[in-house]
Structure 1
Amino acid sequence: MKRKPGFLHIALNVLLVVCVVILSWTAAFYITGFLYSKVAWEPHDLLAFLINAMLGFFIFGLAISIAGPFVKRREHHYWSELIDALRRISRGDFRVNLDAGFGSAHNNQRQNHPYAQLVNSINDMAANLKVMEELRQEFISNVSHEIGSPLTSISGFAKALKNENLDRERRQRYLTIIETECLRLSKLSDNLMKLAVLDSERHPFKPMPYRLDKQLIALILTCEPQWEAKKIEMDVDVEEVEVVADEDLMSQVWVNLIHNAIKFTPYSGKISVVLTRSGDQAIIRVADTGSGIAEKDQLRIFERFYKADKSRERTSGGSGLGLSIAQKITEMHHGLISVSSKLGEGTEFKVLLPLNVR
């Protein structure tokens, strides 16, 4: 069915040429007949045929030469539109939407035409570049906001410290705030650098066999001061699972998920980390008893800089990049990370990781 429009287009062009030839020869026949009657001459049949044929081809050529400039002008208009669209795209204007039918009423017959395919490609390119530009602008806006907030705090409290009448307690509190904001900026810078390296695919990816259960237990013990300080009950149930993956990169995933769970679990809450094996993949679940995430936010939780609870993230020093990094690393391992949550009932992140990514 896809070749039908192209065949019909060719057939109509051939039929049009045949009609023009027939009309040219018909016109030549009546013109020569009229001239013969005027000069009272009746040539031999062969000679009359040759004269009619030559005159017919002359009329056909004349018709083509007259119609040619109009066709070239139409094609020139098409190419001018394409060149203008490309120039607009090169200047950063991605609001380009060319007519794939070139203004023709027979749009269905021209879908497979090279012009139409070129126009569709340009439209797709412009649409993709427009989306990328919107994401870039949003990214710059988010980075500017995340950097501007701590800088404002640092600047304000630094000016306050110039006051010689400040008591020791208030001075120490201001210095603590400045130190916290500096650490926040440092963490933001590190996360941005990680994302940039991961996006550029320059990060060394070295999958090696190792015990995933031992890695999870070691990281949980490393975070013990944090969850012990909040009297959180840590429930760990891990099977013995060996995977072939980049151990350093995957440790970043587990650290981000565990830190998030600790951060948003209330005092005397509970966190569970479960590792099981199912077929050729490992299943890791990190669940907490925090306040949960709204359903509308779960659709965007892995977006860069997205914060389901902006006030809570501000107090905890989050930048909204941790889950983006976790998702990127998981995808590099051909895995899948997802979230399920209900407000007031906690949150669970689930990671499906192939046992072998080679």
Structure 2
Amino acid sequence: MKREPGFPHVISRVVMLLAVLYISWGAAFYITKAVYARIAWAPHELIDFFINTTLGFVFFFLIGMIARRIFGDRNQHVFMEMIDALKRISQGDFHVNLDWGFGDRNERQGRPHPYAQLANSINDMAANLKAMEELREEFISNVSHEIGSPLTSIIGFARALKDEHLDREQRDRYLTIIETECIRLSRLSENLMKLAVLDSERHPFHPSPYRLDKQLISLILACEPQWEAKNIEMTVEADELKVNADEDLMSQVWVNLLHNAIKFTPEGGSISVSLSHHGEEAVVRISDTGPGIDEQDQQRIFERFYKADKSRTRTAGGSGLGLSIAHKIIEMHRGTISVHSRPGEGAAFTVQLPLH
């Protein structure tokens, strides 16, 4: 809907038109005065009035045409520059920054000039598309790297197996490495498919009431062989609590967080899991005594393929997708997930989940 101009804007326009009209009449008056003196003619007052009025309107329209020409050219230049910017964006060039230097149209009311608003919108669109393109390129690079590394290992050890002089022990070791890398590729493919389905919002989402404390305890017990193998002390404090959520999706969140805690907790360390009720939210906190996470890494730890310690995560078989999947699932439930950590003091992940 078109917005009507404000009263101050109308007044300023009227004053400007009157000023131009008075200037035109004043110019006509002095010009005719000079002409009359030049030709020594003193016309009747009525004739003088008609001549001055006619000449004043001629000057008024000439000034209007000149101003329209000047500002019309400027507007045309603005539109041509805008069209050129949109063409560049459509061709994949997002380095666009329009700055036409328009001041505020109604500075007192704080409303920017429409052209300035349009320029800011195009600049914002180009910046957002540029950021998305950078994320896409980074995603492709990460996927290529994550797929390329295990494939290189598989090819190398498969060629080594062609050696007829290998003993049984070496052959079995090579086959184990190939099997491990194949499992890693399978998990990567599964996680990528899972993220693609979650992003497309085609994943079946069936929230229903269930006991969150029972789910956490059962998943912790399912991981018992893994944390007992590292002599990790597991502490669990869970209030009896019922939530309305998708149980299958939430189990992926807890499994990812528990596996990460076990993976990065050193031999003889400890892991603490707590479940409490705060207002209308269930709060789950999973903390460990691992090496911790740098503050700069905490800002990006939920990004896809991001690894706070790339060398350590690669040896542990991670792909950097687990926390991204957990973050996406929590978002679907309109909850939040955060991390608090200091290097050398472990890490604590906190999930706040609405009860209803």
| Fold shared per TM-score above 0.5 | yes
* Separation (CA, whole Å) in 2 of partners of 1:278 and 1:14: 62
Secondary structure at the counterpart of residue 334 of structure 1: coil
Normalising by structure 1, report the TM-score.
0.89
* Separation (CA, whole Å) in 1 of partners of 2:93 and 2:107: 29
How big is each residue's C-alpha offset from its partner over 1:304-352, in whole Å with a ceiling of 9 and x where there is no partner?
2121222211111000111111112112212221222333333221111
CA 1:144–1:32: 2 relative to 1, 3 Å: same
Secondary structure at the counterpart of residue 283 of structure 1: strand
Q: Offset of 1:166 from its aligned partner?
A: 1.3
Counterpart for residue 204 of structure 1: 204
> In the alignment, is the contact (CA less than 8 A) between 1:100 and 1:120 conserved in 2?
no
Aligned: 1:252 with 2:252: yes
Alignment-mate amino acid for residue 57 of structure 1: F
* Separation (CA, whole Å) in 1 of partners of 2:189 and 2:256: 16
Counterpart for residue 42 of structure 1: 43
CA 1:107–1:94: 2 relative to 1, 3 Å: farther
Counterpart for residue 186 of structure 2: 186
Q: How big is the alpha-carbon RMSD for the aligned residues of Structure 1 and Structure 2?
A: 2.5
Q: Offset of 1:195 from its aligned partner?
A: 1.6
**Percent of residue pairs bearing the same amino acid type:** 67
- Structure 1, unaligned runs of 5 or more: 1-5
* Separation (CA, whole Å) in 1 of partners of 2:25 and 2:332: 70
1:42-191 matches, within 5 Å, as 42-43=43-44, 45-102=45-102, 112-191=112-191
Counterpart for residue 272 of structure 2: 272
Q: Offset of 1:128 from its aligned partner?
A: 1.2
Aligned: 1:293 with 2:293: yes
Stretch deviating more after TM superposition (216-225 or 154-163): 216-225
In the comparison of the two structures, how many residue pairs are matched? Answer: 349
* Separation (CA, whole Å) in 2 of partners of 1:23 and 1:348: 75
> In the alignment, is the contact (CA less than 8 A) between 2:289 and 2:347 conserved in 1?
yes
> In the alignment, is the contact (CA less than 8 A) between 2:281 and 2:353 conserved in 1?
yes
Normalising by structure 2, report the TM-score.
0.89
* Separation (CA, whole Å) in 2 of partners of 1:268 and 1:105: 66
Alignment-mate amino acid for residue 319 of structure 2: S
* Separation (CA, whole Å) in 1 of partners of 2:295 and 2:117: 41
> In the alignment, is the contact (CA less than 8 A) between 2:104 and 2:113 conserved in 1?
no
> In the alignment, is the contact (CA less than 8 A) between 2:231 and 2:267 conserved in 1?
yes
Stretch deviating more after TM superposition (238-247 or 105-114): 105-114
* Separation (CA, whole Å) in 2 of partners of 1:105 and 1:281: 46
* Separation (CA, whole Å) in 2 of partners of 1:353 and 1:311: 33
Q: Offset of 1:204 from its aligned partner?
A: 2.4
* Separation (CA, whole Å) in 2 of partners of 1:346 and 1:119: 47
Counterpart for residue 350 of structure 2: 350
* Separation (CA, whole Å) in 2 of partners of 1:10 and 1:136: 49
Secondary structure at the counterpart of residue 268 of structure 2: coil
> In the alignment, is the contact (CA less than 8 A) between 1:101 and 1:111 conserved in 2?
no
Q: Offset of 1:30 from its aligned partner?
A: 3.5
Secondary structure at the counterpart of residue 266 of structure 1: coil
> In the alignment, is the contact (CA less than 8 A) between 1:273 and 1:286 conserved in 2?
yes
How big is each residue's C-alpha offset from its partner over 1:123-160, in whole Å with a ceiling of 9 and x where there is no partner?
11111111111111111111111111111111111111
Stretch deviating more after TM superposition (216-225 or 7-16): 7-16
Aligned: 1:29 with 2:29: yes
Secondary structure at the counterpart of residue 112 of structure 2: coil
Secondary structure at the counterpart of residue 231 of structure 1: coil
